[in-house]
Amino acid sequence: MHRFLVFPKFKYPKFAILGVSYIFAYLIFANKDYPALKNAVEVFGYLGIFLAGVFYTYGFTSGPAAALFFLMSKNINIFAAGIIGGLGSLLGDFLIFEFIRTGFQDEIKKLNHEHLFRKIEFPKRITPFVIPVLAGIFIASPLPDEIGVCMLAASKIKTKYFAVFSYLLNTLGIFVILLLGT
């Protein structure tokens, strides 16, 4: 029997699906205006800020969430909004963290044995800081938190340290956006 559709075999199928989801999300949300989302956040008040915080963590919704924080900064208490938005971001990051840690563990182990990753070596004095610093840049900024969270999940950071790290960095990033909007 001949196959009409031939699907290539991927060495890392979960990462491939994750990559395709980013491309798909970009195609759907590129150059769109989000008035309905802004109105929903305004109607829900601080619950909407919490939800915007959750959306701030995901790659394809981080841009609109950052824009919402920026636009809403004139109408809200930015201190309360930063704290509440940071809690929403923590929830979003925690969901990613647990999913990556449990669902991708097999591929992370295989990926660590790849030639490229075995060749990357940092001086021993800075090695403990490289992953947290790179991950922190992704988590604090409106860039996709998934990248930073994946780095931390693969590094076997304890959940309680991850939660503190995620909350502080996301809250800092949200405060910066809120301050820029005032």
3-state SS of 65-114 is HHHHHHHHCCCCCHHHHHHHHHHHHHHHHHHHHHHHHHHCHHHHHHHHCC
For helices 145-154 and 127-140, what crossing angle results, to 10°?
A: 150
- Each of the 182 residues of the chain gets a pLDDT tens digit; together they read 455 555 567 777 777 776 776 666 555 555 555 566 556 656 778 888 899 899 888 876 777 778 778 777 777 899 999 999 999 999 998 888 888 777 766 766 676 666 665 555 656 666 667 778 888 888 888 777 778 888 787 777 888 988 998 899 899 999 998 998 88
Q: Residue 170 in contact with residue 96, Cβ under 8 Å?
A: no
Cβ atoms of residues 88 and 46 within 8 Å: no
Compute the distance between CA of residue 110 and CA of residue 104 in angstroms, rounded to an integer: 10
Any residues with CB less than 8 A from the CB of 124 and at least 6 apart, and which?
none
